[in-house]
Structure 1
Amino acid sequence: MKVSRPIPAPPHAADLERYAVLGPLPESAFDRPLRLAARLLRAPVALLTLGHGEPPWFQGGVGEGWRRLPGLPELHAATLDHPEGVVVTDLARDAGFAACRRAPGELAPRFYAGVPLVAPDGRVLGTLGVLDVRPRAPRSGGEPAVLGDLAALAVDELEGRLRTWEVEREGRARAEARRRFQEDLTLSQLLRGVSDLTALGLAPEDLLRRVADLAAPVLGADWVGLTAVEGDRATTTPLWHSPRGAGYDPAAEPHGDGLIRRAAHQTGVCFGGDDAGPPGAPCAASAWLGEAGLPGHVVTLVRLGDDGPWSAWDRRFMEAVVRALHHRGARPGARRGDQEPLQQALEEAQRARGRAEVLLELSQLLEGEGDVKQIAPFALAAVGRALGDGWQVLWRREGEVFRPLAVHGSPPEAVQRRQQAGVPASHYEALGVLAGHRVFLNAESLSEVAWQNGLRGTAALPVLLRLPGQELILGAYRGGEFGAWSPFERDLLITAGRILRAGAERQLRLQDLAAAAHTDPLTGLGNRRAFTAHLEAELEDAARRGGRVGVLSIDLDGLKAVNDGEGHLRGDALLAEFARALRERFRPQDQPYRLGGDEYAVVLTGVTPHEGPPLLARVEAVVRQVRRAGFAYADASAGLACFPADGTDLRTLIEVSDARMYAAKGEKRRVGASPRRGAR
């Protein structure tokens, strides 16, 4: 059994917690890396397992009969603890895998190779492995190397699914913010209309009729009536109806006054459906406009057809209007002029509208293209306007402390000094924020020091945690008279955190795309595009300050022989090893690149043509290092061109260095100096 040193911290179930939102994954979710693993490693079975318990969170495989193979949990557990992978050439001969054995003649795994699946934040999620029912020797180049690349592909699939879910969630959040804004705007406008009608001094019946004209179409009602209730007698007068409700008469229905009788014995709005409202009306709502224990009136709204039950907004709107009309200004037979309840309802609606506008503004930030630095000031300002008091901070981790990246508001001087000094990362770790938990603390939960510094409430919400050492946290703080974080304030801060995370994720994606566009994926070196940009910048700088720049063109010899004789995986290993040796053998300020195929180049700073021999000697040292790594027939040819001695522009320097490299290659072939066993 070939294993590496175990990782220090064993994996645990929480490692998959951030993916739990995806729900059960389809068994075919990882078919692509599984089929590639089976095909590339010529294995009859490939298996991918997520989770650390039994049963696992997810398990999928390709190959006939893989579910019936014994010992799969033991193989999975052994692989989780070894980051460089596990290779067992014959499970039947390894005492550590007795669970994989079966009676003679029964199907059992004999060969196994597997690697852990590691998330971008370093958490171990599961394993990817291949099995064979026959023992076999490890492949040249090693199964873990191939499986490692495919494991990364599987993690990318999982991360892609998570990001898709997050994008869809943000879309739903934006749609919900727009919906709430529109509802609150409508509520504010309608209550403003009720306020204007009340100011006209209309008789209560006329006022109710006008209010019905305004409100019933918005609520989707088909009929509105006013019922005078005195003892057992009830007389109903229609106030408004839609075309569909023109013929509706609650008195003609058996038990049609059931909801009205209920409403006469309670305050507020009484909501009913098929069981409580007038027969034939899917929804009805009645509200008592009188005073408890006295004769009075009930206003009733009826929704016919299949429009569905009253929504939360319908109920909220009706209750706000009834609070405004319940008192003297609209109660039939009462005095006019008491506007206080209506004014309170109107102010409530205006506050709701303001909150909705803030949520809409935050949702619109999600649709922009700004990164977190650009978004943060606007997001914090919007949150500050909605919260009124206090201040907000977006914290970014720098080493073992969090420092402000953006601030809105003015904290007390003592708090400001502490914030500028930074908050220890251990503080957020103790609160659980670095584990993904949102924390809202009131005055009684704060430390004595925080209380003395004027804090009365704090909130900390994770914004970005997937890059250890670069975490972002949203903090909100309250001083003065403060009781507890309201549901709206919590919702507002959660929404702001999501928006800031979207900006941070967008920034990371752009950085990843930029890096991918300038990086060779096999070797990790810069590609031709990066080489050209770097060399152009160095030439401009050298021309401006009178400096010197060198270009070293290098051709790796022997790659074709390795590909043909040992396979392309082995050839890829040669390319990667050559790149690693280039990094190690040249100076830190020299930058190597892979231009494509077996072509490499190095941009050298401050070199002259006289330094050519030592630089070419470095290339020979690279070749020796690669040969010691197991590629005995590898070789390389190189050519140097220097600015300004050999040319002053990029094209000329590359042409000169290439020509000298090909001349060196031809000289080697002429004298037979290369030990390689095949031409390129």
Structure 2
Amino acid sequence: MGDTHCVKVVCEGAYLTPARRHRYDEGHVIQPPNAPDPRVDACARYAVLDLGVYPDLDRVCRVMAGALGVEHVAVVLATARRCWVPAAAGWTPRDLGQRAAEQLSKAPRSPAAWAGARLPAFDALFGDGHWGAAATTPLTTPGGVQIGLLLAASAAPRVDWDRSAAQLHDGAALIMQVLEARAASAQLDRGRQERERLAGRLHQATLTARTFQAIADLTALPLDEDDSLRGAAQLTAELISADWAGLQFRPGGTPESVWPEQDGRPGPPLPASDVPVLDAAAGWTFPDGEPGALACVDVPGRAARLAFARRGMDARWSSSDRQVLRDLTWALRHLLSFAAQASALRGLEEQLQFALRNLPMILWVTDARGALAVAEGSGLTQLGLRREQVLGRSLDEVLGGTLNVTALRAELGVGQERRQEVTLAGRVYDTHRVRLPDGGGTLGVAFDVTELVESRAQARRAQRHAETLLDLTQVMALSGSLPEVTLQALEVLLPALPHSWMVLWFREGPLLRPLVSCGEQPEAIAQWQRRGVPLTDAFAQRLLAGAAVQLNPPDLPERLRNEGLHGALLMPVRAGETLMVLGAYRREPLAWSPVERDLLSVAARVVQVSLERRDTLAELRSAAVTDSLTGLGNRRAFEADLRAALARGPVTLVTLDVDGLKQVNDTQGHARGDELLRSVARALGNLLGPDEGAYRVGGDEFCLLLRGLPGRALPDLDAALLSVKADGFAQAGASAGSASAPLDGQDPEALWQLADERMYLEKARRRQVR
């Protein structure tokens, strides 16, 4: 069934191979076996996939048999896999087996088609091999899926099927109503079961949440680690309905019973192996020999574990119990982390005291009046102050109003923090201040960050340098003319070169002239630059040799410095035969730094890449539209020029095919055949006037685009190709055809096809003449 063609069959459950297709007046497309079958889903929804007994459907069949006055009524269901009869009247289940169902499902849809027809299944069902007539109507779901048919049959041809058609259709609708009622009832049952399941899960989740909240609340009690673990074990045992819970403090030790309350008496021995969960079938028993289920949870960070047990041969741990035990590990980690935080807090206090003694920092507390109540830290010594000198004094007074504590109390709310960098005695301090809730005082700390501030400044300069380089590399990827790309590169670079302007010079005869300028420059210098720099200049000679030129203020003549030029940095840019110079000029007497030199070098590289890409793109564009053998335009160029010519006005398209190329290739070789094509190309090129073109569009196929009104006389190709014969190709010739626009139409494809057809007619005529 891997064939992708559709197979049309009458029965929705039968397959026919493409080699054995039959035509039916009415059919259905059968999908491959592994393709989804909507009929299977529909039957599953109605719960009629099995071969069970369905009294509700049987009752409808009996009612229909009485209403129609026939002996037999059957519901036949069919999918891509099988056919079956879930309900019938007049026939017994033994009568209607799988084979009979398949035969019935192949019954013609029109009663008239049954006149004299024979089906093996009916021969068996009616006994004597003869039967009267029958009729069917499809069973279609509300979604439009046909899942089978309702069949009525009579052994005697006495039924008026035309009058019974409406009754049969109503019977099919009644069958579908019964099936829809079955589906709705099943859906209600599933919804009720789902609600009951969700309610149970919600109840269990609520109990679990309350238990773990109680375990979390243990952190607020004055308990040590062991008591906290005992409380967690008791709460968990109640949640999972354990019969016993204990706490083992060391591996191999006797566990202490904590649930039910047994005053810490010894509990049952625990396995020495690291087995977290054992059901009763695993063989673990209580000391009295009764089997039970055991679960152990390791205490994070300690060699202890909590144990829980249930009694009975059938004792086991459900998936929800196992999830609770897994979550208990997290809760225990929370309990122990609280104790660790208390220990860490003591350690932080010790570290703070160490920092106050050894690091350049200041810690202070002021009262509501702004007077210093606490002042600690070795940073006081750096400021020339002692603790005894500042206590009781206003912080504004001690620091000369640098922090403006009075304004701080007015601006800050309770618990709000203010951060500020201030400079004291030539050092930079990072201050953090917060208003305290008791009386409106403030808490503050100041760190000496002078070295950090200097490092940040250097990092910012390095970041600006890197961002400038990144922007320059992005400019390198831009398309556009050389002046446009260069101007964008200079605009990116100029902010990194303070007090500067930039110029891109190009070679024009014996001079270097400015192509692009960026930045403010003195007028006198601008006039001098516009006049150009002779290539005989000493600096120009160095640039021509590929060397960079750097001029600081002492290197420049006094005249130029008086006119506003205090430095120059020149980089040669060469791409092929093109020479350009990228120059940066200073308005202030500042020396060039290595960073600035690197940036200008990258900008020069951007210009060079733009030049190289411009040349490469020009070569690629030419190669894309040129036939490499003949130098004429290729097919791509022809199609583009044809559309453009049609848009401009009247044009004549000539197609021609070279005669004799195959003979030359076969007798003289392909190299000689290539020379023939080049000779033809030269001859065609001599025929062209202004705005006309010749193209090689195939192996020996050429096209001409000629200007002029439709009907223009074609050039004498035989005369034009005399030069080809003179090149040694005496048997060479060409057959041509033409089409003109707008006389023959404006569509490019149609015009080309018409010229080809006329060319082939000409080729046939010439062949007859020869």
Larger radius of gyration: 2
TM-score bracket for the superposition, by shorter chain length: 0.3 to 0.5
TM-score scaled by length of structure 1: 0.43
